[in-house]
Structure 1
Amino acid sequence: MLSSTQLATMLALQDAMNTKVNPQWLSAGYSYLRAALIESVEAIDHHGWKWWKAQNCDLAQVQMELVDIWHFALSHIIIAHDGDIPKAAKEIEVELQHLNPIIVFDGVTFDVSTNTLVENLELMAGLCVVKRFDMPLFVTIVEQAQMTPTMLFEQYVGKNILNFFRQDHGYKEGSYNKVWQGREDNEHLVEIMAQTNSTTQDYADVLYKALEKRYLAK
C-alpha cells in the first residue's frame, strides 16, 4: 500500500507539473479522466485482446500506461478537493484502507477481484467516460499488471522528475539535448533510480539533483 509520504509527494509533484503547464489548471476545465480513458484503451491494446490474430502481452508497456493513468487520476482527485493536497492525500489513504472490490455501473454489479486484467481495464475506461475513478479498481489493475506500490511510486516520480528536468533545461525552447555522455536522459534516470533509496522523504529532489549533476558534467 502507498504510504502517506508517497501520496503527499506524488500529489505535490502533480500539482507542480500542472501549474507549470497552466497556473490556472484547477479552473481550466481540463478533462483528465478523458485522458485516463484513452490511456486505459491503449493499455488494453498493449495487453492484447484480438481473438482473430496472435498477440503477445507487452506488460512493460501496460505498466507505463498505468503510470500515465495515475498522473491523470491524481489531477482529477486534486481538482475534486479544490487544490487541497493534504485533504486529497488523506482521502486516498482512507480509500486504500477500505478496498471494496464491488462496483455497480450502469445497473450491473462487477467484482473486480474476479475480472481479468483486460476486463478491469475496460471497466476503468467505462467509468472514466462518466467521470468516475475507482481506487480499488485501479489498485487491482496495478496488482494484475504485476506492479507493487513501490514500483508505481518510483516510476511515477521518475517520469515526473524527468519531465520537470527537461522543461527546466530548455526542452520547450528546443535547446535541450536528450543525449549526454553517450546515453539518453531516461537511461541516466533508470541508473540513478537503481542507486537511490525511494523511501527517503526527499526522493524526488535527490533524483533531480543527481540528473542535474550528470547533465552539467556532460
Structure 2
Amino acid sequence: MLTSIQLSAMLTLQDGMNTKVNPAWLGAGYAYLRAAMIESVEGIEHHGWKWWKAQHKDLAQLQMELVDIWHFALSDILINYAGNIQQSADTIAKELASGRKHVTFDGKNYDFTQQDILDNLELMAGLCAAKRFDVPLFIQIVEQAEMDSDELYRQYVGKNVLNFFRQDHGYKEGSYIKIWQGQEDNEHLVEVLDKLDIGLADYSDQVYLGLKERYPN
C-alpha cells in the first residue's frame, strides 16, 4: 500500500509539474479524467484483446499507461480539494485502507477482484468517461499488470522527475540533449532509479540529482 510519504511526494510533484505547464492549472478546466479514459483504452490495446488476430502483450507499455493514468488521477483529486495536498493524500489513503472490492456503475455492482485486467480497464474507462475515478479499482489493475505500490511509486517519480529535468535543461527551447554517452535519457533514468532506495524522504530530489550528475555540462 502506498505510504503517506509516497502519496504526499507524488501529489507535490504533480502539482509542481502542472504549475510548470500553467500556474493557474487548478481553474483551467483541463479534462484530466478524459485523458485517463483515453490512456485506459490505450492500456487495453497494449494488453491485446482482439480474438481474430495474434497479439503480443506489451507489459512495459501497459505499465507506462497506468503511470500516466495516475498522473491524471492525482491532478483530478487535487482539483477536488482546491490543491490541498494533505486533504488529497488523506482521501487516497482512506480509499486504499477501505478494503473495498466493489464499484457500482450504471446501476450494476462490479466485484473488480473477480474480473480480469481487460474488464477492469474497460470499467475504469467507463468510470472516467462519467467523470469518476476509483482508487481501489486502479490499484487492482496495477497489481494485475504485475506492479506493486512501490513499483508504481518508483515509475511515477521517475517519469515526473525526468519531465522536470527535461524542462529545466532546454526541452521547450529545443536545446535539450536526449542522448548522452550513447544512451537515451530514459535509459539513464532506469540506472539512476536502480541505485536509489525508494524509502528516502528526498527520493525525488535524489533522482533529479542523479540525472544532473550524468548530464553533459
Q: Which residue of 1 aligns with 2:162?
A: 162
- Contact in 1 for aligned 2:180/2:215 (Cα 8 Å): yes
Mapping 1:22-61, distance limit 5 Å = 22-61=22-61
1:37 maps to a residue whose letter is M
The two structures, once aligned, show a CA RMSD in angstroms of 0.8
Aligned mates of 2:106, 2:114 — CA distance in 1: 19
Taking the aligned partners of 2:69 and 2:101, their CA distance within structure 1 comes to: 19
* Residues 160-199 of structure 1 mapped to structure 2, 5 A cutoff: 160-199=160-199
Aligned to 2:120: 120
- CA deviation digits over 1:1-59, x for unaligned, max 9? 00000000000000000000000000000010000000000000000111111112111
Give me the TM-score of the superposition, normalised by structure 1: 0.98
Q: How far 1:180 sits from its partner (Å)?
A: 1.1
Q: Which residue of 2 aligns with 1:148?
A: 148
Deviations 1:90-114, CA, capped at 9 Å, x for gaps: 1111111003111111111111010
CA distance in 1, matches of 2:57, 2:216: 39
Residue 85 in 1 paired to residue 85 in 2?
yes
Calculate the TM-score normalised by the size of structure 2.
Answer: 0.98
Task: Give the distance between the partners of 1:71 and 1:150, measured in 2 at CA.
Answer: 16
Gap runs ≥5 in structure 1: none
Which deviates the most, 35-44 or 106-115?
Answer: 106-115
Q: How does 1:11-22 map onto structure 2 within 5 Å?
A: 11-22=11-22
Moved over 4 A (4+): none
Question: Which residue does 2:206 correspond to in 1?
Answer: 206
Say if 2:180 and 2:216, in contact at 8 Å, map to a contact too: no
Map of 1:133 onto structure 2: 133
Tell me the distance in 2 between the aligned counterparts of 1:8 and 1:93.
10
Name the CA distance, whole Å, in 1 between partners of 2:211 and 2:104.
Answer: 45
Number of equivalent positions: 217
Alpha-carbon distance in 2 for matches of 1:102, 1:86: 26
Gaps of 5+ in 2: none
> Any residues of structure 2 matched to 1:100-119 within 5 Å, and which?
100-119=100-119
Task: Give the partner amino acid of 1:96.
Answer: L
Which range moves more in the overlay, 181-190 or 21-30? 181-190
Q: Residue 51 of structure 2 aligns to a residue in which SS?
A: coil
Offset of 1:150 from its aligned partner? 0.5
Mean alpha-carbon deviation: is it higher for 4-13 or for 92-101? 92-101
CA drift of 1:61 comes to 1.0
How far apart are residue 216 of structure 1 and its match? Answer: 3.8
Aligned residues: percent identity?
Answer: 62
The separation in 2 between residues aligned to 1:156 and 1:20, in whole angstroms, is: 17
